[in-house]
Amino acid sequence: MTHQASAAAARALRDAFAAVGAGSVTLHLGELPAAVATAGHDAGGGALRRAPAVSHAFLTLRNPARRNALSPRMMAELSAHVDTLEAWARDPAGNHSGLVGVVLAGEGGSFCSGFDLGVAADSFSTPESGSKFSLLMHDTLSRLRALPFISVAAVDGYALGGGAELATACDLRVMGPEASVQFLQVQMGVVPGWQGGTRLTQLLGRSKALTLLAGSERLSALAALSLGYASRVAGEGQTAAEAATEMLDSWASKGYASAIRGVKSTVHAADEGLVSEALAAERDMFKGLWGGPDNLEAIRSHSHRRKSKA
């Protein structure tokens, strides 16, 4: 499938996914949304006040009953929001020329716990469905990464499975002091399906990526900082989204928005190379495992545990 055909197929899936599952993804331009700030944070001033010419966008995941696990509906909304960000980047009138960063965060103290396995158990456990949502997420995350805005995953609480992949697809990661990242895919009988394997290897190298992926090791915030996975750990009493915003503000205060966007585009062009081939191979491997015997057993086991707790 050509890139153009793949992109068209991904867009077509949005309509099919739009009504499936719970949760939402919102896009907000301007000040830090209250949903991802500490209770005492004043969105209108204080340490996070920016020069009027500089702005950031905030993508917020909300599915509290599932620790912000992504449902098909949320995948469709995230894809549509990336469309909007692309339009802002191309805006010939320059209405968004001061936009330099996109902060991706989860509401309610948790980042994202991967794919909503409740939906998977109900209707998304076939190889065909796995192929579809993998295609959509690959397209969405590739476009997010290609934006001229610096994307930062603000990880509070848990980034598990696909949530860890979502964080890894961003340019940078800022973690709360008690946050953790864990790739659980092998425990579900699959490989990463949302670019996580390729992006993690690109970020940390072969040995460290194998350790985290094959060993399902839990990575604490301080360990992630030491490895180079995280760029910053938030201070006590501060959310990761606040720390991410402060970091972007600090950079913006030292240079022009146009230059920061140019730097992001330069770095993106330099590190993509043959990554597209690796991403295609990763998605093919995921397609071959999702909906297979081991994966179905893992989904059934998760569904049984969830119903036992209800």
Return the SS3 of 175: strand
Task: Name the pTM for this structure.
Answer: 0.87
Supply the pLDDT for residue 50: 42
pLDDT at position 218 over 70: yes
pLDDT band for position 39 (50/70/90)? low
pLDDT at position 140 over 50: yes
Query: Which of 24-38, 45-59, 199-213 has the least mean pLDDT?
Result: 45-59
Q: What is the CA radius of gyration of the chain?
A: 18
pLDDT band for position 203 (50/70/90)? very high
Supply the pLDDT for residue 41: 53
Residue range 141-153: mean pLDDT, rounded: 96
- Cβ-based burial of 44 (10 A; exposed 0-12, middle 13-18, buried ≥19): exposed
pLDDT band for position 49 (50/70/90)? very low
pLDDT band for position 35 (50/70/90)? confident
CB atoms within 10 A of CB 307: 10
Taking only the tens place, the pLDDT of each residue in 67-87 is 999 999 999 999 999 999 999
Supply the pLDDT for residue 54: 66
pLDDT band for position 45 (50/70/90)? very low
Q: Running DSSP on this structure, what letter comes out for residue 124?
A: -
Taking only the tens place, the pLDDT of each residue in 88-132 is 999 988 889 899 999 999 999 999 999 998 888 777 888 898 899
HSE at residue 290, side-chain half, CA atoms within 13 A, is 28
pLDDT at position 3 over 80: no
H/E run at residue 180? strand 180-182
Taking only the tens place, the pLDDT of each residue in 153-192 is 999 999 999 999 999 999 999 999 999 999 999 999 999 9
Supply the pLDDT for residue 2: 62
Kindly give the interhelix angle for 257-272 and 240-252, rounded to the nearest 10 degrees. 110
pLDDT at position 5 over 80: no
Supply the pLDDT for residue 153: 98
- The Cα 35–Cα 78 span in angstroms is 17
Taking only the tens place, the pLDDT of each residue in 247-297 is 999 998 888 888 999 999 988 888 876 677 777 777 777 877 788 887 888
Instruction: Supply 146's token pair.
Output: 């290609």
